[in-house]
């Protein structure tokens, strides 16, 4: 049997014993069965979540840090891992042997088995195993040196990844800046024409909208939504300059509705006059 499967089985036995102790204690205190059933749904959900998190943590420990044998000369051995995983069953066996010769009902006899499982599992998993891990690190110079080197290598790798990410981000920002500068140069005629469409009353409405849509299509094909937003801002700024600071109505946002990913603003997003 693999260590993962053995640990899952021992954990299932441990949870079963804990559940039995809980139910026995509640029934012994006079709690009725219908109350237990009403609590079982939520309790089962919480129990499954806790077991999943616990098994995830255990499997990560088995598959990562404890495989570094030079850092864990004892806890990484096969014998220790089987002892660790078998501790709930060993506790149950100890509880069984402790109850031999004692005249009790079967329910209370099983309580002794469950208590042995609980005590042994807590002692090994919560007290002994962390203590052994600390002692391994404290009394193994080679393990401490290897751990320090491993952590230094991991930190160096993290720094390299961070520098790589920052370099990529810097390249993206530079590329975006170049695109903005190129769009500003190439879209100046379109921005001036849009500003004229926004500030003149001598062009028919259908021609105004048709020209604005054609300009929006050019901006979309050139650089997508970002390019359209830049062109709109340029046109509105030129329109304000033409009107000597008076802000024009932003008809562009409505003329371009449906071009690429452009959407007209909602009514609640419009500025109040």
Residue 142 has pLDDT above 60, yes or no: yes
For residue 269, the model assigns a pLDDT of: 45
Confidence of residue 16 (pLDDT cuts 50, 70, 90): confident
Confidence of residue 231 (pLDDT cuts 50, 70, 90): very high
> Which is nearest to 229 in space by CA: 220, 241, 238?
220
What is the b/e burial string over 198-225, where b = at least 16 CB atoms within 10 angstroms of the residue's CB? Answer: bbeeeeeeeebbebbeebbeebbebbee
For the chain, how many residues are written? Answer: 273
**% pLDDT > 70, the chain:** 80
For residue 189, the model assigns a pLDDT of: 92
The pTM assigned to this predicted structure is 0.47
For residue 44, the model assigns a pLDDT of: 57
Domain ranges for the chain: 3-139, 187-269
Name the least confident of 38-42, 127-131, 262-266.
38-42
Confidence of residue 141 (pLDDT cuts 50, 70, 90): confident
**What whole-number distance in Å separates Cα of residue 36 and Cα of residue 54?**
25
Instruction: Confirm if 195 and 242 have CB atoms less than 8 A apart.
Output: yes
Give residue-wise pLDDT tens across range 42-81.
555 555 655 655 555 455 444 444 446 777 777 778 888 8
């Amino acid at each position: 049997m693999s260590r993962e499967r053995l640990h899952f089985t021992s954990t299932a036995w441990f949870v079963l014993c804990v559940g039995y102790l809980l139910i026995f204690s509640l029934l012994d205190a006079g709690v009725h069965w219908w109350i237990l059933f009403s609590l079982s749904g939520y309790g089962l959900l919480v129990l499954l979540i806790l077991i999943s998190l616990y098994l995830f943590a255990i499997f990560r420990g088995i598959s990562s840090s404890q495989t570094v044998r030079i850092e864990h000369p004892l806890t990484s051995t096969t014998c220790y891992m089987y002892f660790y995983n078998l501790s709930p069953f060993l506790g149950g066996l100890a509880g069984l042997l402790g109850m031999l010769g004692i005249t009790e009902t079967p329910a209370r006899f099983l309580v002794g088995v469950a208590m042995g499982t609980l005590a042994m599992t807590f002692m090994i998993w919560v007290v002994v195993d962390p203590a052994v891990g600390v002692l391994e690190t404290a009394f193994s110079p080679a393990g401490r040196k290897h751990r320090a080197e491993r952590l230094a290598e991991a930190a160096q790798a993290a720094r390299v990844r961070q520098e790589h990410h920052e370099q990529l981000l810097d390249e993206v920002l530079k590329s975006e800046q170049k695109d903005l500068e190129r769009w500003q140069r190439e879209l100046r005629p379109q921005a001036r024409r849009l500003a004229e469409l926004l500030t003149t009353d001598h062009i028919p409405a259908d021609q105004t909208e048709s020209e604005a849509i054609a300009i929006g299509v050019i901006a979309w094909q050139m650089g997508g939504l970002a390019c359209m937003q830049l062109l709109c801002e340029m046109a509105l700024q030129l329109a304000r300059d033409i009107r000597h600071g008076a802000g024009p109505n932003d008809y562009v946002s409505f003329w371009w509705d449906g071009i690429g990913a452009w959407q007209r603003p909602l009514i609640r997003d419009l500025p109040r006059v």
